[in-house]
Amino acid sequence: MTHPPAFALYPRHLDSRLRESLADTPAVLVNGPRQCGKTTLVRQYEGDMAYFSLDDPGLLAAVQADPLGFVKRLDRAIIDEVQRAPQLLLALKLVIDQDRRPGRFLLTGSANLMALSQIADSLAGRVDILTLLPLSSAELARRPNDFISRALAQNWPAKATTPSHQANPTDHTDMTQQVLAGGYPEMQQRTTPARRQAWARAYMRTLIERDIQDIAQIDQLNQIPQLLSITAELSGQLLNLTQMGGQIGLNGKTVDKYIGILEKLFLVRRLPAWSRNELNRLIKAPKIHFLDAGLQSTLTRLSPELAVTQRSRFGATLETWVYAELLKLLSITPEAWFLSHFRDKDQLEVDFVMESPLREIIGIEVKAAASVQASDFKGLRKLRELAGAQFVTGIVLYDGIHALSFGEGLWAVPLNRL
C-alpha cells in the first residue's frame, strides 16, 4: 500500500478561496510554479471532476490536434498544466459560452498564463485566477496566518518564542534552516541542506531546458542560467537592466525580455516603488526579487554555516524569504493589497510597504539580528511622515523573542510571527 507524501497533508490556505470561486465562476485557473503543490490541491476535487494532465504526451498530442473536440466531450473537468496547449483556451471559451454553469473547469498552469499574448484575452470574464505559491511558514506549521489582522490592530502577543540563534539546528523552528529550505514541498522533504540544494539545482535546470520553450522562443538560452545567478545575487536590490546585461554581454532591452520570461515562470518578480502619487509608482525604479529563498540561496551558494558567519549575505536571503511570505499571504487575502518598496532621494528605505484597498499603510523592515535599535526605524518614520493618516503601523521583523513597542505605531516583531 502506498501512502501520500508528507507534504500532501499540509492544508493549503488557498483552498477556501478556490471553493468560493468554483461555486460562482465557470472556470477557475490555479496559477503557480511547478512543484508548488497545484496538482495535490486540485485533485482533491477529482471525485466530482474528471482529471487530465497535459504532461501526458499522448493526451497533449490529442488535445493539440482537436482542442474543441476534446473539450466538447467534457462535463466537468480538471485540466493540469494547461499552458502546454494554449489553443485549448479558445475551445474552453466557446464551450463555456454555451453552458455557463459554475465550477465546470478547474485549470492549473505553471506559467503566468494571463501574461502570455496568445492566452490573455481568451477567457476574460469567464475565469477566476488564483495563485498558489510554495508552502508558507504558516502552512508548514499547520496554523492560520493572522499577520495582517494583527498588524492592523497592533495586537502582538507578548509570549516569548524561540529565536533561531538559540534553537536546536535540527528543529523546524530554527529560522536559518527554515529560510534556506524555502517553500517547495519536495525541497522540504530532503533531509540535509546539500540534498535540498541538489533538488533546487535540478528544478531550475528543468525549467530552463523545458518550460521556457512552452512560453517563449529564446535565441540565447545558454545565457539564462547566468542571468538567473546574477538576479539571485541582486535579489532585493534596485533593478538596473544595463548593469545586469553588461555582466553577460546582453543589452538592457534583452535583459528586460528575459526577466519577463523568468517572471512568467514564477522564479522572480519586480517589486514596484511606493509613492503617495500613484502615477509616480509607474516610473520609479522597481526592485528585483526571487520568489523563493531556497532557490535564491542555492544560486548564491549560501550554506547554513555561511549564514551564521556572513550575516549580510543571509540578510539578503532573509529579505527574499519575507517577500515570499508576504506574497503568499496576499495571495489568500480576498482584498487586493498593493505590495511595494519605499526609497527616497536621501536613500531612506523601507523593505516592504503593504497598502490596503482603503489605502491603509503597513511598513515592514527586515533585520537579520536578535536585537533592534531605535535607529532601525528611521525609514519607517519617514514613511509615516509621508503617508500621514494613512499610516497604520511600521514593523521591524527581527530574530528575537518578544514583540516590542518603539513608540506610536512602531513595533519590533519576531520573524516567526510572519
Give the DSSP letter string of 193-215.
HHHHHHHHHHHHHHIIIIIHHHH
Give the span between the Cα atoms of 319 and 236, in whole angstroms.
Answer: 7
Q: Tell which of 99, 131, 163 closes a domain.
A: 131
381, 263: one domain: yes
How many independent structural domains does the chain possess? Answer: 2
Is 1 within a domain?
no
- Digit-by-digit pLDDT tens for the chain (418 residues) are 343 444 447 899 999 999 999 999 999 999 999 999 999 999 999 988 999 999 999 999 999 999 999 999 999 999 999 988 888 988 999 999 999 999 999 999 987 766 655 554 567 778 899 999 999 999 999 999 999 999 999 999 876 555 444 444 333 347 899 999 999 999 999 999 999 999 999 999 998 888 887 677 676 678 889 999 999 999 999 999 999 999 998 899 989 999 998 998 999 999 999 988 777 776 689 999 999 999 999 999 999 999 988 888 999 999 999 999 999 999 999 999 999 999 988 889 999 999 999 999 999 999 999 899 999 999 999 999 999 999 999 999 999 989 999 999 999 999 989 8
Give the DSSP letter string of 299-327.
HTT--HHHHHH-HHHHHHHHHHHHHHHHH
Residue 176 · residue 314 · CB < 8 Å: yes
Burial of 31-42, coded b for 16+ CB within 10 Å and e otherwise, reads bbbbbbbbbbbb
For 56, other C-beta atoms within 10 Å of its C-beta total: 14
pLDDT digits (tens, 9 = 90+) for 357-398: 999 999 999 999 989 999 999 999 999 999 999 999 999 999
Domain that holds residue 125: 6-131
239, 320: one domain: yes
102, 199: one domain: no
Give the span between the Cα atoms of 207 and 203, in whole angstroms.
Answer: 6
Angle CA(82)–CA(85)–CA(87) in degrees, nearest 5?
115
95, 224: one domain: no
pLDDT digits (tens, 9 = 90+) for 241-280: 999 999 998 899 989 999 998 998 999 999 999 988 777 7
What distance, in Å, lies between the first and last C-alpha atoms of the chain?
A: 38
| pTM of this structure | 0.91
How many Cα neighbours within 13 Å face the side chain of 233?
A: 11
Helix or strand or coil: residue 65?
A: helix
78, 150: one domain: no
